[in-house]
Every structure is written in C-alpha cells, then in structure tokens.
A = this chain, B = another copy of it.
C-alpha cells in the first residue's frame, strides 16, 4: 500500500519542508475545516508558519489553486476556495462517477489484510464520533475514502479523489448545516461488509448511496458566499476554531 504519488525522489534534505508537504498540510487543514472557505492565506503568514521562503509558498499556493482548493485573486492574494453551488454539484457528480468504481475495484482486489486495515480505521472513526471529537471524525471519514483509492492501487484516481474530498469539506462548510460531519460511519461499515464478501456490485451501490446521502445533507439553494464575506468584514473572524 505504498503511495503511488509522483516523483517521491526529490524529497530533498528532510530538514526543509518541501512544497508537496505544504500542500498536503493545507489540504488536511481544509479537510478538517480548520481553514474555512474564504480564509485569506497571506504569503508572509504562511512563510512564518512553515518557515520557508516566499517562493516556496507561492509555488504551493499555485499548486493548491490548480486543484481548486484555493482561489488566487490578482494583486489581492490567495483565499481558501468558496465553491459555488454549480461547482458543488459538479464535485458530487464527479465523486458519484468515480468512487463507486473504486469500491468495485477494491471489492475485486482487496486482500484480507487490506480489509482488516479498513476495519481498524473504522474503529477509530467510531471512537471519534462517539467521543464527539469532531475534527478527528471529519479527518478520519475523509481518510477512509482515500484509503479505498489507495487499496485500489491507482495513483491517478487517488489524486483525483483527494481533491474531491477536500473540496467536499469546503462545500459542507458553506452549504452544510453546522455540526454535521462529512460521512456517517455506519455506511462505511456497510461498505466494509460488502468488500469482505467481495460483492463488487453491492459495494458500488453502497458507495453511490453513501455519496448521495452526503449530497442530500447540504442545501445548495442557500446563498453562499456573500453573507460570509460580509460577516468577515464585520469583524467576525470566523477563522475559528476551538
């Protein structure tokens, strides 16, 4: 289950933080909703946070923008993306097109050990849910989908799904009711059950239903960003968190 990501060779001197790591960490922060949509990502702040030069930060921001996780506004800076309702629909549609096939692939290929790993992960998810640890719950439920792509053994699709999951977190942050988490772990449990039985068709259907449930939990008719922008203008630095 090695990461099939591109050129792992140039990780360079372990001391320095490569831009790939910066991208990864910002991805995670967005998934965990520690960086809400619209948050300004100032270069100098990021330079300090990661202890690297401005150039590396700019490269990282460009990469994040190419994944549509941040928006670059000319002469104004980088902001965490605020997907429109149209984009949100596209993201869900894309996930619905891709991930059921991933589930099918995993059902056909997964070893007993793979499934054991998934089951152990599900355990962590349930614990996080039970203990009300929202941030862990969100991260773990996203990781579950990522792990499926990893087990499927397709680096291309893994990269796509990572992007889609991250953007889904943004979408839920904008259009979702506050407090709802991204996935319900019982559906993950059903999926593991189908995988264990190598029932590809049922795994695919469970995944499709699962994604539809996630989509149903957001209200794309709500006016999104304008209000958020005003709020931030009025001093509510919802940036957030604790």
Binding site for B on A (CB under 8 A): 4, 6-7, 10, 12, 59, 62-63, 65-68, 71-74, 86-87, 90-91, 93-94, 97-98, 101-102, 105, 154-157, 160, 164
> In the complex, what distance in Å separates the CA atom of A3 from the CA atom of B12?
38
**Given that A63-B62, A156-B90 are contacting pairs, would A7 and B97 also be in contact in the complex, using a CB cutoff of 8 Å?**
no
> In the complex, what distance in Å separates the CA atom of A154 from the CA atom of B66?
16
> In the complex, what distance in Å separates the CA atom of A7 from the CA atom of B101?
30
> In the complex, what distance in Å separates the CA atom of A155 from the CA atom of B94?
9
**This protein's copies in its complex:** 2
**Given that A97-B98, A101-B97 are contacting pairs, would A71 and B7 also be in contact in the complex, using a CB cutoff of 8 Å?**
yes
Q: Which residues of B contact A59 (CB under 8 A)?
A: 62
Q: A97 touches which one: B65, B71, B74, B157 (CB < 8 A)?
A: B157
Is the CB–CB distance between B91 and A97 below 8 Å? no
Q: Which residues of B contact A63 (CB under 8 A)?
A: 62, 66
> In the complex, what distance in Å separates the CA atom of A155 from the CA atom of B67?
12
> In the complex, what distance in Å separates the CA atom of A138 from the CA atom of B105?
31
Q: Which residues of B contact A4 (CB under 8 A)?
A: 86, 90
Is the CB–CB distance between A74 and B156 below 8 Å? no
Q: Which residues of B contact A98 (CB under 8 A)?
A: 97-98
